[in-house]
Chains A and B, each alone.
Chain A
Amino acid sequence: MRHLLSTADLAREDAIRILDIAEDMVAVGTREVKKLPALRGRTVVNLFFEDSTRTRISFEAAAKRLSADVINFSAKGSSVSKGESLKDTAQTLKAIGADGVVIRHGSSGAPARLAAAGWIDAPVVNAGDGTHEHPTQALLDAFTLRNHWSAVRGVASTGSDLAGMRVAIVGDILHSRVARSNLWLLRTLGAEVTMVAPPTLLPVGSGSWPCTISYDLDATLAGGIDAVMMLRIQGERQHASFFPSAREYSRRWGFDDARLAALDTQPGRETVILHPGPMNRGLEISSAAADSPRSTVLDQVSNGVAVRMAVLYLLLSADPQRPGAL
Chain B
Amino acid sequence: MSTTTYLIRGAALAGGAATDLLLDGGTIVATGTAASTHAAAATAEVIDATGLIALPGMVDLHTHLREPGREDAETVETGTQAAARGGFTAVHAMANSTPVADTAGVVEQVHNLGQRSGWVDVRPVGAVTVGLAGTQLSELGAMADSRARVRVFSDDGMCVWDPVLMRRALEYVKAFDGVIAQHAQEPRLTEGAQMNEGEVSAVLGLAGWPAVAEESIIARDVLLAQHVGSRLHVCHVSTAGSVEIIRWAKSLGIDVTAEATPHHLLLTDELVRSYDPVYKVNPPLRREADVLALRAGLADGTIDVIGTDHAPHPSEAKDCEWAQAAMGMTGLETALSVVQHTMVDTGLIGWDDVARITSATPAVIGRLEDQGRPLAAGEPANLILVDPSARWTVRPEQMATKGRNSPFAGMELPGSVRATFFRGHPTVLDGALNTPLAYTGAAS
Contacts and interface: CB of A to CB of B under 8 A. Distances in A.
Interface of A: 8, 85-87, 105-110, 112-113, 116-117, 129-133, 177, 180, 203-206, 208-209
B193 to A, nearest CB: 12
Contact of A85 (B194, B204, B276, B320): B320
Contact of B205 (A113, A117, A132, A204): A132
Nearest to A176: B205
A108 B201 CA distance: 10
A215 to B, nearest CB: 17
Interface in B312-357: 316, 319-324
A107 B206 CA distance: 8
A205 B205 contact: no
Contacts of A106: 323
A109 B199 contact: no
Contact of A205 (B194, B199, B320, B321): B199
B320 A132 contact: no
B201 A109 contact: no
B17 interface: no
Contact of A116 (B274, B320, B323): B274
Given A133-B205, A204-B198, A205-B201, A107 B322 contact: yes
A133 B205 CA distance: 8
B199 to A, nearest CB: 4
Contacts of A110: 275, 321-322
Given A177-B205, A203-B201, A205-B198, 11 more contacts: A86-B321, A87-B320, A107-B324, A109-B275, A110-B321, A112-B275, A133-B205, A203-B202, A204-B201, A204-B202, A205-B200
Query: What DSSP secondary structure best describes chain B's contact surface?
Result: loop
Contacts of A130: 205-206, 323
A113 B321 contact: yes
B362 interface: no
Contact of A87 (B204, B319, B322): B319
A132 B207 CA distance: 10
Across the A-B interface, the 7 shortest Cβ-Cβ residue pairs:
A109-B275, A205-B202, A132-B205, A131-B205, A203-B202, A205-B199, A107-B323
Given A130-B205, A132-B205, A177-B205, A117 B274 contact: no
A46 to B, nearest CB: 18
Given A8-B203, A109-B275, A116-B274, A204 B321 contact: no
19 contacts: A8-B203, A85-B320, A86-B320, A86-B321, A107-B321, A107-B324, A108-B194, A108-B322, A109-B323, A110-B322, A113-B275, A113-B322, A116-B274, A116-B276, A132-B204, A132-B206, A204-B210, A205-B199, A208-B202
B208 interface: yes
A180 B205 CA distance: 9
A206 B320 CA distance: 28
Contact of A109 (B198, B202, B204, B208): B204
B279 to A, nearest CB: 11
B212 to A, nearest CB: 10
Contact of A204 (B197, B275, B316, B322): B197
A115 to B, nearest CB: 10
A205 B210 CA distance: 11
Contacts of A133: 205
A112 B199 contact: no
B204 A204 contact: no
Contacts of A86: 320-321, 324
Given A85-B316, A204-B198, A205-B197, A109 B321 contact: yes
Contacts of A208: 199, 202
B197 A109 contact: no
Most chain A beta carbons < 10 A, residue from B199, B202, B208: B202
